[in-house]
């Protein structure tokens, strides 16, 4: 078992969510240090955190920043051997941290994915990410009964950034979250870089949290789709997805997704986001694809499109 744990929780307004998250962290069965990153809240979140939670370390931004910047700020403010990223709209079971940190006793493991349940506690919201050959990412086991969480297939790429544990040495080796990204794909990008660096990722279905999905991002549906498009354009360029054997499939998939988004939403948010993300990736190092065992090659073209549509729907289009 690693020696110390930092729990980094980004927060933006919606104090009641953060307070609930903190109450569940207070009940944990293992010692830890909580770092709240107040990401430019405009309500009384910051004042109430300082007055009602004096044992919690609070880091502050005067203006709202991206998710990667908020997380990196919190991680840099701590020194624990284990970094746990936790969304403030997740309520954890009492043994969550103990279960989540346990796999890091294996020195080859760099990250661990927790099991998130939907609000009803009966269905899986996700247990890490899987990716197809185009690096399109999807939540594993989403919508299945909670009892299915222990299944090995599909293969795990890495944890989602709202319910993850990272070995600090692994995090620092690859540079943490890339702050070029904004709100989407930053955890997928980190998972790929950790895999390329040789670190293993594992899922821990006994580390359970309930995802309240209460919209703490606060962005409009169009903005969310633009951010999603930005992350996708970034990934396309950084990982050379428009070159090689999967280039044709990738290009066709993106064309269909963008066209459908444009027709259904009557705006160019998805296209503009991809163009901006592609341009932003110009300054970042070019990387290869993750190991084959980290990719779910069973997701075919049609299945991938269907899953992409589900993601699009969840983003509020």
CA dist 245 and 205 (Å) reads: 35
Structure confidence at residue 99 (pLDDT): 97
Is pLDDT at 314 greater than 60 in this prediction?
no
Structure confidence at residue 223 (pLDDT): 86
Do 21 and 90 lie in a common domain? yes
Between CA 82 and CA 181, with CA 285 as vertex, the angle to 5 degrees is 60
Residue 306 domain-assigned? Answer: yes
Do 54 and 200 lie in a common domain? yes
Do 116 and 182 lie in a common domain? yes
Mean pLDDT (the chain, rounded): 93
Residue 216 domain-assigned? Answer: no
The mean pLDDT value for 175-194 works out to: 95
Residue range(s) defining the domain that contains residue 91: 5-211
Do 231 and 189 lie in a common domain? no
For residue 62, give the nearest of 124, 12, 119 by alpha carbon.
Answer: 12
Q: pLDDT tens for residues 60-101?
A: 999 999 999 999 999 999 999 999 999 999 999 999 999 999
Q: Assess contact for 234 and 181: CB atoms under 8 A.
A: yes
Do 131 and 47 lie in a common domain? yes
From residue 294, how far is each of 90, 101, 160, 245 by CA, in Å?
A: 26, 21, 15, 18
Do 12 and 77 lie in a common domain? yes
The mean pLDDT value for 269-296 works out to: 95
Number of domains within the chain: 2
What pLDDT band is residue 136 in, cutting at 50, 70 and 90? Answer: very high
For the chain, give the percent of residues with pLDDT over 90. 86
Do 140 and 72 lie in a common domain? yes
Q: Which of 152, 176, 211 is the last residue of a domain?
A: 211
What pLDDT band is residue 232 in, cutting at 50, 70 and 90? Answer: very high
The mean pLDDT value for 108-130 works out to: 96
Between CA 182 and CA 189, with CA 188 as vertex, the angle to 5 degrees is 70
Q: What is the dihedral of CA 189, 194, 195, 196, to 10 degrees?
A: 90
What pLDDT band is residue 317 in, cutting at 50, 70 and 90? Answer: very low
Is pLDDT at 54 greater than 90 in this prediction?
yes
Q: Which of 178, 211, 244 is the last residue of a domain?
A: 211
Q: Which of 193, 211, 229 is the last residue of a domain?
A: 211
């Amino acid at each position: 078992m690693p020696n110390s744990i930092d729990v980094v929780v980004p927060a933006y307004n919606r104090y009641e969510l953060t307070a609930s998250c903190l109450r569940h962290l207070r009940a944990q069965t293992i010692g830890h240090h909580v770092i709240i990153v107040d990401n430019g809240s405009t309500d009384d979140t910051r004042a109430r955190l300082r007055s009602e939670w004096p044992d919690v370390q609070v880091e502050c931004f005067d203006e709202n920043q991206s998710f990667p910047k908020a997380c990196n700020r919190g991680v840099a403010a701590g020194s624990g051997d284990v970094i746990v990223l936790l969304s403030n709209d997740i309520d954890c079971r009492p043994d969550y941290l103990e279960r989540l940190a346990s796999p890091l006793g294996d020195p080859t493991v760099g990250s661990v994915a927790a099991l998130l349940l939907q609000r009803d506690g009966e269905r899986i919201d996700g247990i890490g990410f899987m990716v197809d050959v185009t690096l399109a990412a999807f939540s594993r086991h989403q919508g299945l009964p909670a009892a299915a969480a222990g299944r090995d297939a599909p293969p795990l790429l890495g944890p989602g950034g709202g319910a993850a544990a990272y070995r600090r040495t692994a995090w620092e080796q690859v540079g943490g979250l890339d702050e070029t990204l904004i709100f989407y794909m930053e955890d997928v990008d980190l998972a790929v870089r950790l895999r390329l660096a040789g670190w293993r990722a594992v899922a821990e279905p006994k580390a359970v949290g309930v995802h309240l999905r209460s919209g703490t991002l606060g962005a409009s549906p169009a903005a969310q789709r633009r951010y999603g498009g930005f992350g996708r354009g970034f990934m396309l360029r950084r990982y050379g997805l428009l070159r090689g054997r999967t280039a044709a499939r990738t290009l066709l998939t993106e064309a269909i997704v963008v066209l459908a988004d444009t027709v259904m939403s009557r705006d160019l948010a998805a296209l503009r986001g991809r163009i901006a993300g592609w341009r932003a990736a110009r300054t970042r190092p070019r990387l290869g694809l993750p190991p084959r065992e980290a990719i779910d090659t069973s997701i075919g073209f049609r299945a991938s499109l269907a899953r992409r549509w589900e993601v699009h729907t969840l983003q509020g289009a």
